[in-house]
């Protein structure tokens, strides 16, 4: 590369990176401004005095503690379920031989073509018939596992040598024990990717929690924030503080596990 083209690359990349990062820094700034500053006709770039109290005020003005707890229960519960079910089903499709295996696998993959919008009305009707609207189980159960996670796990379990499984069988290990003590330890990195991705995705999920909750106390953070903003739409400092709190866990996970994360994205692009 010539020095000139090198500089040009840096300039373009720096501008692009500023465009992606600066709005988020501005969100942080808004969250630390006074209400007057956020309403000023002359937008304030950075507050004169940092209003950390905004974060406390958020908990007084909205049941934000509930929002956080709900998000943790729902995203955490779904992630746990994926980590339990996806590899188990993936293992069966990777290592067992049984009649109709390919048909069943195809039926499973077909669910990848069913978007949430197709499911939202029937799921709503179903959940309301069994009284699960506005409950944690109503938010968790429709997402307990998915075909993509199962497919991913199957891909990772397939290369594990059959001899290993046979040896364990000869030693008299039960099928569940083989799964837990032979298979799972071999696919730890894949489990990490699956867990991270599921958690971040569910933590940010918006449509289903919006449909399936009816009271303030049951909202997850994304829904709580949006509805809070509609109810008190002038309170930008609090909306921004809530957004920062919603973003922090994902940002922390990303910083700590960047490599896994990028791997997760490229894996989701397996052809």
Partner 1 sequence: MTARYAITAYLFLLPAFAFFALMYYGPILNILSNSFHTGPQADVFAGLDNFLRAFADPAVHNSFAVTLIFGAGTTLGAIVLGLALALLVDKPLTGRVIYRAALLVPYLTSVAIVGLLWRNILDPQLGILNRLLDTLGLPTQTWLTTQPLVTIIAVTLWMNVGYTMVLFLAGLQGIPDMYHEAATIDGANASQRFWRITLPLLAPTTVFVSVMSVISGLQAFAQAYIITGGGPAAETDLYIFHVFNVAFSSRDFGYASALSFLLLLVIIVFTVLQLRAGRRGEVSY
In the complex, least distance from residue 159 CB atom to partner 1, rounded to whole angstroms: 19
Residue identified by tokens 């938010």 is 139
Distance, in Å, from the CA atom of 181 to the CA atom of 164, rounded to the nearest integer, reads 11
* C-alpha distance from residue 261 to each of 65, 153, 194, 264, 265 (Å): 28, 16, 10, 5, 6
Residues 161-190, mask of contacts with partner 1 (x by CB under 8 A):
--------------x---------------
Instruction: Report the residue from 120, 160, 182, 192 that binds partner 1 according to the rule CB under 8 A.
Output: 120
Give the footprint of partner 1 on residues 234-253 (CB under 8 A). Answer: 236, 239-240, 243, 246-247, 250-251
Note whether 221 and 67 are within 8 A (CB): yes
Is residue 46 a contact residue for partner 1 (CB under 8 A)?
Answer: no
Note whether 211 and 124 are within 8 A (CB): yes
Is residue 123 a contact residue for partner 1 (CB under 8 A)?
Answer: yes
Q: Which among 146, 111, 139 has a CA at the least distance from the CA of 211? A: 139
Q: How many residues of this chain interact with partner 1, rule: CB under 8 A?
A: 88
Is residue 158 a contact residue for partner 1 (CB under 8 A)?
Answer: no
Distance, in Å, from the CA atom of 33 to the CA atom of 43, rounded to the nearest integer, reads 11
Instruction: Report the residue from 68, 74, 89, 235 that binds partner 1 according to the rule CB under 8 A.
Output: 89
Q: Which is nearer to partner 1, 195 or 222 (CB)?
A: 222
Is residue 96 a contact residue for partner 1 (CB under 8 A)?
Answer: yes
Distance, in Å, from the CA atom of 213 to the CA atom of 8, rounded to the nearest integer, reads 50
Q: Which is nearer to partner 1, 191 or 240 (CB)?
A: 240
Instruction: Report the residue from 4, 48, 49, 97 that binds partner 1 according to the rule CB under 8 A.
Output: 97
Q: Label residue 131 left, alpha or beta by phi (over 0 means left) and psi (-120 to 50 means alpha).
A: left
In the complex, least distance from residue 130 CB atom to partner 1, rounded to whole angstroms: 11
Is residue 132 a contact residue for partner 1 (CB under 8 A)?
Answer: no
Is residue 194 a contact residue for partner 1 (CB under 8 A)?
Answer: no
Is residue 51 a contact residue for partner 1 (CB under 8 A)?
Answer: no
Residues 14-33, mask of contacts with partner 1 (x by CB under 8 A):
--xx-xxx-xx-xx--x---
Is residue 111 a contact residue for partner 1 (CB under 8 A)?
Answer: yes
Note whether 76 and 199 are within 8 A (CB): yes
In the complex, least distance from residue 265 CB atom to partner 1, rounded to whole angstroms: 5
Note whether 254 and 261 are within 8 A (CB): yes
Longest dimension (CA), the chain: 77
């Amino acid at each position: 590369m010539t020095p000139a083209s090198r500089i040009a690359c840096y300039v373009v990349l720096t501008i692009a990176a500023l465009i992606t990062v600066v709005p988020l820094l501005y969100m942080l700034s808004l969250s630390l401004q006074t209400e007057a500053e956020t309403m000023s006709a002359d937008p304030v770039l950075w507050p004169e005095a940092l209003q950390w109290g905004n974060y406390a005020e958020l908990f007084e003005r909205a049941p934000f503690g509930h929002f956080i707890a709900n998000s943790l229960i729902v995203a955490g519960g779904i992630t746990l379920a994926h980590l339990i079910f996806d590899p188990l089903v993936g293992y069966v499709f990777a290592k067992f031989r049984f009649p109709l295996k390919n048909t069943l696998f195809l039926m499973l993959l077909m669910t990848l073509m069913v978007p949430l919008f197709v499911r939202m009305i029937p799921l709503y009707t179903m959940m309301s018939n069994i009284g699960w609207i506005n409950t944690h189980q109503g938010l968790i159960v429709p997402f307990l596992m998915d075909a993509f996670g199962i497919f991913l796990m199957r891909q990772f379990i397939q290369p594990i040598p059959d001899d290993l499984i046979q040896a364990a069988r000869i030693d008299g290990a039960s099928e569940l024990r083989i799964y837990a003590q032979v298979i799972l330890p071999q696919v730890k990195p894949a489990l990490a990717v699956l867990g991270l991705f599921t958690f971040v995705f569910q933590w940010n999920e918006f449509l289903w929690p919006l449909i399936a909750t009816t009271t303030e106390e049951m909202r997850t953070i994304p829904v709580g924030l949006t509805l809070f903003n509609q109810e008190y739409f002038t309170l930008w400092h609090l909306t921004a503080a809530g957004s920062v709190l919603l973003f922090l866990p994902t940002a922390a996970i990303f910083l700590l596990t960047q490599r896994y994360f990028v791997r997760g994205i490229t894996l989701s692009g397996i052809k």
